[in-house]
Amino acid sequence: MNENEKSEHGRITPLGALLKALGIIIIVLTMLICLVPLMLPLFGVQTANIITGSMTPAIPVGSLVAVTSGTYEKLEQGEIIMYELNGTTVTHRVVSNDVSAREVITKGDANDREDMLPVSYDQIEGIVRFHVPVLGSVLQFISQLSGKLVAFGVLAVGLLMTFTGDRMRQRSWEDEIK
* Residue 99 and residue 132 in one domain: yes
Q: By residue range, what is the domain housing residue 34?
A: 11-39+141-169
Check residue 1 and give its pLDDT.
43
Report yes or no on 1 lying in a domain.
Answer: no
Q: What is the mean pLDDT of residues 108-133?
A: 97
* Residue 21 and residue 93 in one domain: no
Position 101, amino acid: A
pLDDT tier, 4 (very low <50, low <70, confident <90, very high otherwise)? very low
* Residue 98 and residue 110 in one domain: yes
Least confident of 56-60, 79-83, 118-122, 165-169: 165-169
Q: What is the mean pLDDT of residues 153-158?
A: 97
* Residue 50 and residue 133 in one domain: yes
pLDDT(88) > 50: yes
Give CA–CA dist 126/108, Å, rounded.
16
Check residue 36 and give its pLDDT.
83
- CATH assignment at residue 79: 2.10.109.10
* Residue 103 and residue 86 in one domain: yes
pLDDT(102) > 70: yes
Report yes or no on 2 lying in a domain.
Answer: no
Report yes or no on 164 lying in a domain.
Answer: yes
CB-CB neighbours of 119 under 10 Å: 22
Report yes or no on 175 lying in a domain.
Answer: no
- What percent of the chain shows pLDDT beyond 90? 83
Q: For strand 124-132 and strand 64-68, is the pairing parallel, antiparallel, or unpaired?
A: antiparallel
* Residue 69 and residue 25 in one domain: no
- Average pLDDT in the chain: 91
* Residue 154 and residue 82 in one domain: no
Report yes or no on 5 lying in a domain.
Answer: no
Report yes or no on 56 lying in a domain.
Answer: yes
* Residue 128 and residue 88 in one domain: yes
Q: Please count the structural domains in the chain.
A: 2
Residues 31-53: pLDDT tens digits? 998 888 889 999 999 999 999 99
Name the burial class of residue 41, with classes exposed (0-12), middle (13-18) and buried (19+) by CB atoms within 10 angstroms of its CB: exposed
- What percent of the chain shows pLDDT beyond 70? 90
pLDDT(64) > 60: yes
Which residues are within 8 A (CB) of 133 and not within 5 positions of it... i.e. 6 or more apart?
60, 62, 63
pLDDT tier, 177 (very low <50, low <70, confident <90, very high otherwise)? low
